[in-house]
């Protein structure tokens, strides 16, 4: 069971990192925000992720997510 959970977590990290690297942090946050609003209604929306420094920082961090 633990092996399955760790594998699932690893796949999620690859998906998140790939999406951040390919489409950017704002679209990735928006996509997961929509999924979260369906899974847990009433959660606040993600805002404040549009900026040059945040974009380059998140794309750098995306490589760490994928490794």
Convert the pLDDT of each residue in 2-25 to its tens digit. 999 999 988 888 888 888 888 887
Where exactly are the structural domains of the chain? 2-66
Q: Output the six-digit token pair for 35.
A: 């999924």
pTM: 0.61
Q: The tokens of 45 are what?
A: 């929306």
Instruction: For residue range 22-51, list pLDDT tens digits in order.
Output: 888 778 888 888 888 888 888 777 666 666
Given 3-state DSSP classes, what are the helix, strand and coil percentages for the chain, each rounded to the nearest 5? Answer: 80, 0, 20
């Amino acid at each position: 069971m633990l092996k399955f959970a760790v594998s699932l977590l690893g796949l999620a990290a690859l998906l998140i990192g790939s999406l951040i690297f390919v489409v950017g942090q704002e679209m990735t946050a928006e996509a997961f925000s929509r999924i979260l609003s369906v899974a847990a209604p009433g959660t606040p929306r993600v805002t404040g992720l549009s900026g040059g420094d945040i974009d380059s920082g998140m794309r750098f961090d995306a490589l760490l997510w994928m490794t």
